[in-house]
Amino acid sequence: MDIKILGTGCVKCNNLEAATRAAIGELGLAIELEKVTDPGEIASWGVMSTPALVIDDDVVSVGRVLSAAEVKQLLIASA
């Protein structure tokens, strides 16, 4: 499973990263999380509002800070 956080490093982006790391830990998954901060690369995903969460090359959330429980549900659905 490939997970990316798209964001420039703002508070919301950092909060989504923390929630995602918590969800990964709670599920006991051995997944590397990639942070994408380059505005050009973020735009190449079609994302105009950050933060965004990408799971296996699918943008699953844009412009929201998800809770760890919400991220867990997305991870389970994508497994």
Task: Examine the residue annotation and report whether 35 is marked as an active-site residue of this protein.
Answer: no
Q: How far apart are CA 4 and CA 47, in angstroms?
A: 13
Residues 6 or more apart whose CB falls under 8 angstroms from that of 31 comprise: 1, 2, 3, 24
Residue 76, SS3? helix
Of the candidates 13, 42, 52, 74, the residue annotated as catalytic is 13
Of the candidates 10, 33, 43, 76, the residue annotated as catalytic is 10
Task: Examine the residue annotation and report whether 24 is marked as an active-site residue of this protein.
Answer: no
Question: Which residue numbers are catalytic?
Answer: 10, 13
